[in-house]
Amino acid sequence: MRYAMAIDTKKCVGCSDCVVACQTENNVPIGYCRDWIVEETNGTYPQLEMELRSERCNHCANAPCVRCCPTGASHIVEGGIVLVTQNDCIGCGACIASCPYDARYPYPDGYVDKCTFCYHRVKKGEKPACVEVCPTKCLYFGDLDDANSEVSVILKKRKYKTLIPEAGTDPQLYFLI
Amino acid sequence: MKEELIVSGRMNPYVDPTLNIWHWQIPLYLFLGGLAAGILFFAALSYIRGREEAHSFAVRKMPFLAPVLLVIGLACLFFDLNHKLFFWRLYTTVKLQSPMSWGAWVLMVITPMSMVWCALHIKEFFPNWDWKYTWAKEAEKFAQKYKLWIAWIILIYSVILGVYTGILFSAFNARPLWNTSILGPLFLASGLSAGAAAIIMFTKNKEERAYFARIDLIVIGIELFLITHMFMGFMASTQVQIEAANLFLGGPYTAPFWIFVVFLGLVVPALLEILELFDYHVPALVPSLLVLTGSLMLRFLISFAGQESRYLY
């Protein structure tokens, strides 16, 4: 099993509904977020192109945060989801420094927190909160090993890219372009 | 010209606009750890080579500073943690892939070992010292018997400690400036140089001072060589590493790095030590203080600049 997410940059309008849904679902403290919107503008005026991306932890197959964690608090569970065990985390910051996507933050209690792909929902067969609420239905979630899953189907049809593949992390967020 | 503008809604103060997770505690600890490693390395080396009498200060007295430095360093590490009460989790796991994990274990070996070494030489400072309990006397006898073994353990672990202070940074490939394995030998050399400088600063024996000044000179040469190679490697590498090097080659860290680390921390003390070799009298305090300051600055600049270097997106 290999969970992954596809984000349609052509359909995303940058409304931040995914951000708010996540903050509500996961009790994210005020001032932080587990997912966020990036607006990237490219070109020379007046020929400009804008790409909107809903970003979060890439749940890398070769995760530098898991490698650098000195206590094993950052670990990979079934389906390739990267999680942090709160009471194993000493809050040293190694994982925050090791993440090229800057997806982690220290929770006010001290341990490090990040996107869990809503593991508590996924376990029950539900979709992550951000996918569930997206008004333009631009987020696709599922199992890459299952050829009929939503995410496998869309990745077969569309062109996509991943972020900073040169960092050697084998990221599992696919941005449809 | 084609331009790119990225607006992110993240606003996490620890990573935006650049990484801001480690402050003064980590570079200060890396300096203290490197200095302690240098002091212990020369104490153990001189003892193993049978130079205990010739280098009596380096072997018997200087190491008393090491456990103090290590304990202050460990306190810095502890106060830097965000989830402090769970620090003991470090010692319930061994993770070889994580330099922080094996570094924590190395500290767990070398800190008590440095204390044992001091206990063996306590009569240097307290000539009438008496171990009040028989078990303590027995323990001292035991350690005395295996002193050569202890020296070897300290020698090996001091090298690992010195390298680890640099490898800690190299493991983070997300920060292109840190992501070079040359930081390991560079920080080891810087720690050894600081250790030799501390001996030069405090010893009263003229020959011992001259000997360690020569050693310091060699290590400074190696450091200059490693710094040159570090920048050559960056400039021949990918765009992100070229930009990381540019932080020091025209960017905001240029002046502090080349003035305090390279010129005042390496070149000037090397020249002063060469003058000393030709029998010009140079107060020992000057080159040693310069070397120690340069070593401290190297840690601070690499730590802060590394947090500013990042991937392009």
Task: Tell me the CATH number at A35.
Answer: 3.30.70.20
Asked if A91 lies within 8 A of B95 by C-beta distance, the reply is no
CA distance B22 to chain A (A): 8
B232 pLDDT band, cuts 50/70/90, is very high
Q: Quote the number of domains for chain A.
A: 1
A30: closest chain B residue by CA: B12
Q: How close A147 comes to chain B (CA, Å)?
A: 31
Instruction: Tell the residue number behind the tokens 């890398």, with chain if given.
Output: A60
Q: Does A109 touch chain B (CB under 8 A)?
A: yes
Restricting to B residues 78-107, those with a Cβ less than 8 Å away from any Cβ of A are: 80-84, 86-87, 89-90, 92-93, 95, 97-101, 104
Mean pLDDT of the residues in chain A? 94
Interface test with B, best of A9, A36, A71 (most B CBs within 10 A): A71
Minimum-distance CB partner of A97 among B12, B21, B313: B21
Which CB contacts under 8 angstroms, 24+ apart, belong to B272-278? B273/B213, B273/B214, B273/B216, B273/B217, B273/B220, B274/B217, B276/B210, B276/B213, B277/B210, B277/B213, B277/B214, B277/B217
CATH code for the domain defined by B25-308: 1.20.1630.10
| Mean pLDDT on B181-188 | 96
pLDDT (0 to 100) of residue B130? 84
The residue-averaged pLDDT of B19-44 equals: 95
Return mean pLDDT, chain B: 93
Number of H-type helices and E-type strands within chain A: 6, 10
> Which of A142-151, B42-51, B278-287 is predicted least confidently?
B278-287
- pTM, full prediction: 0.93
Instruction: Supply the range of the domain harboring residue A40.
Output: 3-176
Segment among A19-28, B237-246, B304-313 with least mean pLDDT: B304-313
Chain B positions in Cβ-Cβ contact with residue A97 (cut-off 8 Å): 19, 21-22, 172, 174-175, 307
A110-157 pLDDT, tens digit per residue, is: 999 999 999 999 999 999 999 999 999 999 999 999 999 999 999 999
Mean pLDDT of B11-23: 87
- B103 Cβ contact partners less than 8 Å away, ≥ 6 residues apart: B161, B164, B165, B168
Beta bridge partners of A50: A41
Rounded mean pLDDT, B141-168: 94
Average pLDDT over residues B224-241: 95
pLDDT of residue B7: 82
Per-residue model confidence as pLDDT tens digits over B98-119: 999 999 999 999 999 999 999 9
Please give the pLDDT value at position B47.
95
- Statement: residue B68 has pLDDT above 70: yes
Q: Name the phi and psi angles at A164, rounded to 5.
A: 40, 55
d(CA A75, CA A69) in angstroms, rounded, equals 9
Nearest-by-Cβ selection for A100 from B92, B307, B311: B311
Provide mean pLDDT across the span B256-279: 93
Instruction: Kindly provide the ipTM of the predicted complex, given to two decimals.
Output: 0.90
B1 pLDDT above the threshold of 70: no
